[in-house]
Amino acid sequence: MAFWRSKKTKKEDDLGQKSADSSGASDQLHNPNTPVASHGEMHDSDQPQLEGASPADESTTDSTKASVEPKASTGGLFSKMRGALSKTRQALSTDIRDLFKAEGRLVDDDFLKELFSRLIRTDMGVASAEAIRDDVATRLRARVVSLEEVLETITQQVQTMLTQESAGIHYAESGPTVILVVGVNGSGKTTSIGKLANHLHQSGRKVVLGAGDTFRAAAVEQLTVWAGRIGCEIVTGKPEADPASVAYQTVDKALSVGADIAIIDTAGRLQTQVNLMQQLEKIRRVVEKKIETAPHEVLLVLDATAGQNAISQAQGFSDAAGCTGIVLAKLDGSAKGGVILPIHEKFQLPVKFVGIGEGVDDIAAFDAAAFAKALFAQ
């Protein structure tokens, strides 16, 4: 659903993440405090003995802190949502406004054809654009209407299309809720984890983070800084350690300290990398050994600036990782926010959270009505 231009957001990662994937990282991670097996499946007989994965280490260098320091956020939720969708709204509203050369416009076949062509340019997808066009035809055909009437009609249809039964986190009935977070490199995955952890912490839940992206030192450093600012514990491992081992120990730590939530980061990967996608399945099996019903959520982070590419990502991860929901990141840096429509329609995956700014608090539970209203607000 390409509501946006392919222009890259100014924040590759909300916390100033410095690098792309460095899978061959050889430097020691920042004070790893959790012994992690490098290879092999975890068994009950060789469970890691955690001394206590500590909150983010205070010895993090000043340069690291400066590069990944969470920013303060300002403004109310609707104003943030409206601001985050400004690029998408401007592109869409301008195109639709161009249909009105006078105060009113007759809704006839020519108008509907032009409306469809403008909607399709937003990466919304053919099916979504057709549904909106047909709804406008049903309600307004043969009438002379204003721009405001058309936008109101489209807003209502978008809200209907995005209404979902379950947008919240599925919490475990007892014990910690385990959330596995997946996505491609550069999607804003690690930053989204930090924001989500802060969101849950602010709601009164005790959170443990697992730095399972062991092939990229910057991701571990970044998540460590987030943990320190939030005040939650984090489990890390040695460079290139088995991510499944880190995941196992994260769940073990969450159980031992009575945490409500365990959020596990994973290495960024393309949906076409079969061996890495199989690694996700291994992580699922390993955490299931500690908690039979885990993971309770598998959240796919999608970059809103990716447009139609996000659809193929959703397809691959949904098939391989058993995703339960979507976090739409970098919404504030994209003119393609409409991509949410075809993803929701095709995969029936609920959008659970959206990234709406650069601040530590700039993540919000997805609300279809607020999204649709902000998308077409004048």
Give the confidence band of 240 by pLDDT, cuts at 50, 70, 90: confident
**DSSP helix/strand/coil, 231:** coil
Query: Looking at residue 65, what is its pLDDT?
Result: 39
Query: Looking at residue 96, what is its pLDDT?
Result: 85
pLDDT, one tens digit per residue, over 241-259 is 899 999 999 999 999 999 9
Task: Choose among 75, 314, 93, 71: nearest CA to 198.
Answer: 71
Quick one: tokens of 267? 């290495």
Query: Looking at residue 272, what is its pLDDT?
Result: 63
pLDDT at 273 over 80: no
Query: What type of residue sits at position 371?
Result: F
CATH superfamily of 77-162: SRP54, nucleotide-binding domain (1.20.120.140)
pLDDT, one tens digit per residue, over 161-208 is 988 766 789 999 999 999 999 988 888 899 999 999 999 999 999 999
pLDDT at 78 over 70: no
To the question of pTM greater than 0.85 for the whole model, the response is: no
The CATH architecture assigned to 44-72+169-376 reads 3-Layer(aba) Sandwich (3.40)
pLDDT at 47 over 50: no
Contacts of 102 (CB under 8 A, 6+ apart): none
Contact indicator for 115, 135 with CB cutoff of 8 Å? no
Helix (H) or strand (E) holding 378: none
Mean per-residue pLDDT for 17-38?
A: 37
pLDDT, one tens digit per residue, over 106-135 is 999 999 999 998 888 777 889 999 999 999
Query: Looking at residue 378, what is its pLDDT?
Result: 60
Query: Looking at residue 38, what is its pLDDT?
Result: 32
Query: Looking at residue 77, what is its pLDDT?
Result: 53
Domain residue spans of the chain: 44-72+169-376, 77-162
**How far is it, in rounded angstroms, from Cα 286 to Cα 245?**
8
